Amino acid sequence: NTAAIKHVEALLDKITSKSTTFERNCVIREWKSKEMDEETARQIVGSLYERAVRNHDLCQFYAYLCAGKVRHYSFFKYEAKGFLSELLRLTLRMFDEEPNCLETRDTREKSRRLCNIALV
């Protein structure tokens, strides 16, 4: 579903371009309110995973998205939890292998905690 992947790419670009948490939350809230079918949900989770692999600098966003938003989101209706767990494990591995992948130690620790919470 190319449209779903393009939608996710645009969404992630939009979120990462926002400068405040409030602005990022507004974008995520808008996205969460959309209904989607199973195939679209799977495509989006797959796209998130691929993008996480390619762009280590986005790991804080993935940790935040997975822990704070996607955990309660409709992806879980579609048995996509395995993808998300893999994504979170990948993110945690990034923290260990690339300590400079996030700007500050505080940010890194906060993101690590979010990942661990979401994996429970």
Average pLDDT over residues 8-22: 65
pLDDT at 79: 42
Instruction: Give the mean pLDDT of the chain.
Output: 59
52 neighbors 58 (Cβ within 8 angstroms): yes
Q: What is the CA radius of gyration of the chain?
A: 13
Q: Taking each helix axis as running N to C, give the angle between helix 81-97 and helix 105-119, from 0 to 180 degrees, rounded to the nearest 10.
A: 150
Q: How far apart are CA 38 and CA 33, in angstroms?
A: 15
Supply the DSSP symbol for 79: T
What mean pLDDT is predicted for residues 11-16? Answer: 65
pTM, full prediction: 0.36
Confidence grade of residue 35 (pLDDT, cut at 50, 70, 90): low
Mean pLDDT score, 108-115:
64
Amino acid at 29: R
| Range in 3-7, 91-95, 100-104, 107-111 the model is least confident about | 100-104
Helix H or strand E encompassing 26? helix 21-32
All structural domains of the chain with their residue ranges: 2-119
Q: From CA 91, how far away is CA 78, in angstroms rounded?
A: 22
**How do residues 48-83 score in pLDDT, each as one tens digit?**
656 655 665 555 555 555 544 444 444 444 444 555
